[in-house]
């Protein structure tokens, strides 16, 4: 890509993003999802691996075709941990790092006729003490591996049961006013390289243990954005419009450039 766009790409510091930044780590800023979205929205980055809702709520971006962080069943790392039955839960404390997950939760609860209050939550050390908490990413995986008495309601699995479709959590959002030559192709190549080196990534990363890394990156997460994933996004757009007063924009996909 050359030095002209060094540090013009942003991604998240989660295990599920590692295969998508293979070989371009030095040109990528790794930021928490909410901070990454703000930087991208402000025009300080040309592209970011951001939640699908960042794209749907802000008409600033095109989506790079072919690449996603998605699940087609249990996602493992996005869930509500609850001690009471969900029907009896009055408040769910939500990790605000991912707007996609919060809005997916709203959609899934509405489908079930449930309307607990959703409150922001960021104190992971006390998650096990909460009656109901929504966690995502590495903190979510940490929670599952720690002692707890909660039941786990996997949002990827719930979406699959409700729609029969994959759920796309994150995409490469490219600002329409900033499109450095070769950026799209470089991001597609990073994905190809990452998938080719998946065994190496699983063997050499330090998060969690090798068995969890393998199951997570091979079974729970997939990285394609094809027809079924786009159908999932289209269904999510429909569902979002029924639970929010905000404008939900139609996604626009672009090929590598």
Whether residue 43 contacts residue 177, with contact meaning beta carbons closer than 8 Å, is answered with: yes
Q: Where does 78-163 sit in CATH, by number?
A: 3.40.190.10
**In order along the chain (257 residues), what is the average pLDDT of each group of 10 residues?**
61 94 95 91 96 96 97 96 96 85 95 94 82 91 90 97 97 93 94 97 92 94 97 98 95 90
Give residue 7's pLDDT.
56
Phi-psi region of 119 (alpha: psi -120 to 50; beta: other; left: phi over 0): beta
User: How far is the C-alpha of 108 from the C-alpha of 239, rounded, in Å?
Assistant: 9
Ranges assigned E (strand) in 86-148: 91-95, 117-121, 132-136
Give residue 150's pLDDT.
95
Classify residue 120 by burial, with Cβ atoms within 10 Å: 0-12, 13-18, 19+.
exposed
Output the pTM of the full model. Answer: 0.92
User: How far is the C-alpha of 10 from the C-alpha of 135, rounded, in Å?
Assistant: 22
- Domain ranges for the chain: 3-70+166-254, 78-163
Give residue 73's pLDDT.
96
Q: Do 78-163 and 3-70+166-254 have the same topology in CATH?
A: yes
DSSP, res 85: -
Give residue 28's pLDDT.
96
Q: Where does 3-70+166-254 sit in CATH, by number?
A: 3.40.190.10
């Amino acid at each position: 890509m050359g030095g002209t766009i060094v540090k013009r790409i942003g991604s998240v510091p989660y295990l599920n993003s590692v295969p998508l930044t293979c070989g371009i780590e030095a040109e990528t800023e790794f930021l928490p999802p909410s901070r990454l979205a703000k930087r991208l929205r402000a025009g300080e980055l040309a592209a970011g691996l951001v939640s699908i809702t960042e794209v749907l709520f802000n008409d600033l971006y095109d989506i790079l075709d072919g690449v996603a962080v998605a699940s087609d069943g249990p996602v493992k790392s996005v869930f509500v941990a609850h001690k009471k039955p969900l029907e009896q839960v009055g408040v769910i404390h939500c990790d605000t790092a991912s707007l996609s997950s919060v809005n997916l939760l709203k959609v899934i609860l509405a489908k079930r006729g449930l309307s607990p209050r959703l409150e922001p939550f960021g104190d992971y050390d006390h998650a096990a003490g909460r009656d109901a908490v929504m966690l995502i990413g590495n903190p979510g995986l940490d929670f599952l591996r720690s002692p707890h008495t909660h039941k786990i309601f996997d949002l990827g699995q719930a979406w699959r049961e409700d729609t029969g479709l994959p759920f796309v959590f994150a995409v490469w959002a490219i600002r329409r006013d900033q499109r450095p030559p070769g950026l799209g192709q470089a991001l597609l190549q990073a994905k190809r390289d990452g998938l080719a080196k998946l065994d190496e990534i699983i063997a050499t990363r330090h998060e969690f243990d090798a068995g969890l890394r393998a199951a997570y990156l091979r079974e729970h997460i997939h990285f394609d954005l094809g027809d079924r994933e786009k159908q999932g996004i289209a269904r999510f757009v429909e569902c979002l419009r029924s639970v929010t007063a905000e404008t939900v924009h139609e996604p626009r996909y672009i090929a590598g450039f």
